[in-house]
Amino acid sequence: MTWTVTNGILVALAALFAVGLCGNTVTLTVGKGTTPTYTHLVLVANLPIHELAIREKGAAEFLDDMKESPAKTFTQDSKAPLKGPLSVRFAVKGGGYRNRDEIFPVGLKPGAVINTNIPF
């Protein structure tokens, strides 16, 4: 009998943990050093995402993945100003790619927070 109760508690805890993970959404914060034309863009994620890439308005392809260093902080350097609004794509380990179109409006300043509304 004790085994069944303990087993039931473990199942309940596992379910709560799974629901908790599903409820998190990825938020990106524009980091210090970001320029108004996005020639240097710094994004800080609130959750451990695997890769991060941006796409300019009107572009068919995403730019190369942003560089990650330190953990959850991604940077992109561009020789020319990036055309906003920018779209974002990121990968979750074991969870595939997620993307949002035109999520970054033109002229974001450091400290601005972008809620992607994408479940983690």
Q: What is the pLDDT of residues 77-113, one digit of tens each?
A: 988 888 889 999 998 877 788 888 988 888 778 888 9
Map out the domains of the chain with their CATH numbers.
25-119 (2.60.40.760)
CB neighbour class for 51 (10 Å; exposed up to 12, middle 13-18, buried from 19): middle
pLDDT computed for residue 59 by the predictor: 94
Q: Are 89 and 96 in contact (CB under 8 A)?
A: no
Q: Using one digit for the tens of pLDDT, what is the confidence trace for 49-67?
A: 889 999 999 999 999 999 9
pLDDT (tens digit per residue) in 32-54: 888 888 889 999 999 888 899 99
Structural tokens at position 38: 């996005």
pLDDT digits (tens, 9 = 90+) for 12-36: 333 333 333 445 888 889 998 888 8
pLDDT at 23: 57
